[in-house]
């Protein structure tokens, strides 16, 4: 039971090669950290792992099945910019309902207040919006969660609190968690294993 | 060394655009109300000919004068405007609906569907549209059906192209990709995500299309492919009035023409204000 990427390569359409020959494995219930310098393709890799973007070559399998098989995907992505990840014209109630019917206990653990449900994304702060994105991503079918600079808009204390909650949830539900961050101390505290994007990733010439 | 004056803050610009839009909408609303109420209050018997009141200039009894059969031109102009408004709304709605459905379908389904719709857009834009419109109107038998179908089928392409471009951009946006990740179908995405996003564009298209339709309805009727001669349509009034201008009966074409211009300008202004507001930065939300 794992999220497994094999021999992944991605070339920006009409542009340069971002990475080649990349292998990555996240076991169910494991917390893996991914770091690397800016522009090396961490966010692109996250999108490929979540099935949002096809790789140029290579495969991504979740528990042996292709990641972009029809139906709700077992891999969910929480991105750096929550305001782009939700329909700006919808209320938060619709945003969450699109994914699943949320468990009130989970909402409470994530610090989501009832009065926020009637608001639209522009009426919430980045941090509040990110909690909704996290709630939406933690549906009953989620087996793997990718957190791409998820807490960039939180202060250190809130960041620590939120990751503690997420860590507890993924442990309880045996969800594999891939944390992408530049914050090495955070990854050290949180992860069972830390992986760096390969040297060649940023060094590959056009 | 001179410095460029700072641009007004975004909120001020949006407020100013909103006020402009409210004024334009109020003008259009007042104009529509005036036309509909006046047409309802008018005595339709004044549409009949009166041999004793032929070619009378504007005066207290006949505000816009009378025509060569003694019919009151004010009544005919108001009736013509009401007819033009009805045709304008129906045709613009039909045209915008075709553009929206085809634009979304082309961008979302891609492949051969996109190729066929894009080819159709290029082909239709390539034909001179007045000729195309006359051919379509003539082939379906003219009249109101000819006008509605003729104008609708020749005026969906530009908006469809705009909507296609919008959807092509939106289909790769993070919230659409996330929706697919939650197992939502393309139909759900088109209906719930994309339609709402392109609706302002479609609304602007509708309002801008409206005066265009009214002008084309008048043109088609003027050329003899629209309404029958006894219908009090603006195109018919202009067609009948034009030959009399050179013989001193200026009122026969002037008043219907001015009223048409007023309606067209009011709608064009409203559409323009709406376009400015919906395309201003930070529109989302």
Question: What does the DSSP assignment read for chain A?
Answer: -EEEEEEEEEE-TTS-EEEEEEEEEEETT-EEEEE--TTSSHHHHHHHHTTSS--SEEEEEETTEETT-SSS-SEEEE-S-HHHHS-TTS-HHHHHHTT----HHHHHHTT--GGGGGS-GGGS-HHHHHHHHHHHHS-TT--EEEEESTTTTS-HHHHHHHHHHHHHHHHHHT-EEEEE-S-HHHHHHH-SEEEEPPHHHHH---
Cα separations (Å) of B26 from B20, B34, B83? 10, 12, 21
Quick: pLDDT tens for B222-270.
788 878 777 777 777 887 788 888 888 888 888 888 888 888 888 888 8
Task: Say if residue B120's pLDDT is above 90.
Answer: yes
For chain A, give every domain's residue range. 2-196
Determine the Cα–Cα distance for residues A50 and A148; give it in Å rounded to an integer: 11
Across the interface, of B174, B192, B196, the residue whose CB is closest to A84 is B174
Predicted confidence at residue B219, as pLDDT, reads 83
Tell me the C-alpha distance between A118 and B54, whole Å: 66
Q: What is the ipTM of this complex?
A: 0.90
Residue position matching structure tokens 């009727």: B221
The per-residue DSSP string of chain B comes to ---PPPPPPHHHHHHHHHHHHHHHHHHHHHHHHHHHHHHHHS-GGGGS--GGGTTPPS-SS-TT-B-TT--BHHHHHHHHHHHHHHHHHHHHHHHHHHHHHHHHHHHHH-HHHHHHHHHHHHHHHHS-HHHHHHHHHHHTTSHHHHHHHHHHHHSSHHHHHHHHHHHHHHTTSHHHHHHHHTT--HHHIIIIIIHHHHHHHHHHHHHHHHHHHHHHHHHHHHHTSSS-TTS--HHHHHHHHHHHHTTT-THHHHHHHHHHHHHHHHHHHHHHHHHHHHHSTT---
Nearest residue, CB atoms, A71 vs list B177, B183, B197: B183
Nearest by CB to A76, which of B175, B181, B284?
B181
A140 to chain B, any CB pair closer than 8 A? The answer is: no
Residue contact B178–A139, C-beta within 8 A = no
Flag whether residue A79 sits within 8 Å of chain B, measured between CB atoms. yes
What mean pLDDT do residues B79-86 have? Answer: 84
Write phi, then psi, for A60 (nearest 5 degrees): -125, 120
pLDDT of residue B1: 44
pLDDT by residue for chain A (206 residues), tens only, comes to 889 999 999 998 888 888 998 999 999 999 999 998 888 889 999 999 999 999 999 999 998 888 888 888 999 999 988 999 999 989 999 999 999 998 899 999 999 999 999 999 999 988 899 999 999 999 999 999 999 998 887 888 888 888 899 999 999 999 999 999 988 988 998 899 999 987 654 434 33
- Interface contact A89, partner B, CB < 8 A: yes
pTM above 0.90, yes or no: no
Residue A145: both structure tokens together:
């969660």
Given a contact cutoff of 8 angstroms between Cβ atoms, the answer to whether B197 and B213 are in contact is no
pLDDT tens digits along B135-178: 988 898 878 888 899 999 888 999 999 999 999 999 889 999 99
What is d(CA B153, CA B149) in angstroms, rounded to the nearest whole number? 6
Write down the mean pLDDT value for chain B. Answer: 83
- Please report, for chain B, the start and end positions of each structural domain, with discontinuous segments joined by +: 40-49+63-279
Q: How many angstroms separate the CA atoms of B181 and B175, rounded? A: 10
SS (H, E, C) B86-123: HHHHHHHHHHHHHHHHHHHHHHHHCHHHHHHHHHHHHH
Alpha-carbon distance B30 to B267, whole Å? 12
Question: Cα dist. B152→B95, B145, B246, B264 in Å?
Answer: 5, 11, 35, 18
Cβ atoms A46, A197 nearer than 8 A:
no
Chain B residues with beta carbon closer than 8 angstroms to that of A98: 179, 182, 184, 192
A67: left (phi over 0), alpha (psi -120 to 50) or beta: alpha
Task: State residue B141's pLDDT score.
Answer: 84
Interface test with B, best of A13, A46, A82, A87 (most B CBs within 10 A): A87
Say yes or no: A98 contacts chain B, CB-CB below 8 A.
yes
B186: distance to nearest CA of chain A, Å? 11
CA distances in angstroms from B123 to A133, B134, B154, B157, B186, listed in the order given = 44, 17, 11, 10, 28
Is B285's CB within 8 Å of A120's CB?
Answer: yes
Residues of A whose CB is below 8 A from B178: 52, 77, 85-86, 136
Residues of chain B above pLDDT 90, percent = 24
- Greatest pairwise CA separation for chain B in angstroms: 77
Which residue does chain A place closest to B197, by CA atoms? Answer: A89
pLDDT band at B281 (very low <50, low <70, confident <90, very high): very low
CA distance A146 to A33: 10
Binary contact (A51, B181; C-beta < 8 A): yes
What per-residue confidence (pLDDT) applies to B63?
A: 78
Class of domain A2-196 as given by CATH: alpha beta
- Confidence tier at B192 by pLDDT (50, 70, 90): very high
pLDDT of residue B285: 34
**Could you read off the pLDDT of B19-71 as tens digits, one per residue?**
888 888 888 888 888 888 777 777 666 667 776 777 778 878 777 888 777 78
Distance CA B255, CA A184 (A): 78
Task: Look at residue B180 in the predicted model and tell me its pLDDT.
Answer: 93
Name every residue in B having a CB less than 8 A away from some CB of A: 173-175, 177-184, 192-193, 196-197, 284-285
When mean pLDDT is compared across B117-126, B182-191, B197-206, the lowest value belongs to: B197-206
Q: What is the pLDDT of residue A24?
A: 93
Check residue A202 and give its pLDDT: 45
> In this predicted structure, what is the pLDDT of residue A66?
87
Chain A CB contacts of B175 under 8 Å are 84-87
Q: Which two tokens stand for residue B156?
A: 């969906």
* pLDDT number for residue A47: 94
At residue A206, the pLDDT reads 38
Q: Exposed, middle or buried: residue B272 (CB in 10 Å: 0-12, 13-18, 19+)?
A: middle
Determine the distance from the C-alpha atom of residue A4 to the mean position of all C-alpha atoms in its chain, rounded to a whole number: 15
Query: B40-49+63-279 has which CATH code?
Result: 1.10.3720.10
């Amino acid at each position: 039971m794992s999220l497994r990427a094999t021999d992944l390569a991605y070339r920006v359409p009409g542009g340069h090669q971002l990475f080649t020959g990349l292998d990555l494995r996240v076991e169910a219930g494991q917390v893996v950290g991914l770091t690397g310098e800016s522009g090396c393709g961490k966010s692109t890799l996250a999108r490929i792992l979540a099935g949002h973007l096809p790789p140029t070559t290579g495969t991504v399998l979740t528990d042996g099945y292709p990641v972009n098989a029809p139906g709700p995907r077992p891999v969910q992505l929480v991105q750096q910019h929550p305001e782009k990840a939700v329909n700006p014209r919808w209320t938060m109630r619709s945003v969450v309902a699109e994914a699943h019917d949320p468990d009130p206990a989970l909402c409470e653990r994530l610090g989501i207040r009832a009065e926020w449900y009637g608001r639209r994304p522009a009426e919430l702060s980045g941090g509040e919006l990110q909690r909704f994105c996290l709630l939406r991503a933690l549906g009953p079918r989620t087996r793997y969660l990718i957190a791409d600079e998820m807490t960039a808009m939180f202060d250190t204390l809130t960041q620590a609190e939120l990751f503690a909650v997420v860590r507890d949830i993924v442990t309880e539900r045996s969800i594999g968690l891939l944390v992408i961050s530049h914050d090495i101390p955070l990854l050290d505290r949180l992860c069972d294993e830390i992986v760096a994007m390969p040297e060649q990733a940023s060094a590959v010439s056009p | 060394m001179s410095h460029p004056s700072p641009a007004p803050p975004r909120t001020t610009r949006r407020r100013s655009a909103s006020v402009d839009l409210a004024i334009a909408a109020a003008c259009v609303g007042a104009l529509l109300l005036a036309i509909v109420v006046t047409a309802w209050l008018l005595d339709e018997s004044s549409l009949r000919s009166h041999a004793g009141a032929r070619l009378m200039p504007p005066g207290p009894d006949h505000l816009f004068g009378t025509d060569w059969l003694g019919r009151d031109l004010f009544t005919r102009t108001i009736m013509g405007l009401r007819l033009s408004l009805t045709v304008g709304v129906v045709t613009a709605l039909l045209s915008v609906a075709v553009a929206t459905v085809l634009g979304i379908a082309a961008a979302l389904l891609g492949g051969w569907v996109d190729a066929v719709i894009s080819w159709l857009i290029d082909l239709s834009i390539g034909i001179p549209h007045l000729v195309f419109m006359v051919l379509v109107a003539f082939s379906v038998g003219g009249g109101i059906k000819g006008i509605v179908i003729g104008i609708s089928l020749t005026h969906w392409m530009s908006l469809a192209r705009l909507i296609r471009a919008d959807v092509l951009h939106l289909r790769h946006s993070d919230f659409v990709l996330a929706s697919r990740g939650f197992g939502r179908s393309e139909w759900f995405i088109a209906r719930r995500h994309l339609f709402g996003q392109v609706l302002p564009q479609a609304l602007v298209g509708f309002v801008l299309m409206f005066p265009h339709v009214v002008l084309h309805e008048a043109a088609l009727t003027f050329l003899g492919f629209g309404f029958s001669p006894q219908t009090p349509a603006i195109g018919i009034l202009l067609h009948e009035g034009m030959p009399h201008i050179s013989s001193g009966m200026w009122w026969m074409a002037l008043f219907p023409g001015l009223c048409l211009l007023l309606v067209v300008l009011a709608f064009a202004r409203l559409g323009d204000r709406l376009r400015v507001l919906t395309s201003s930065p930070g529109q989302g939300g």
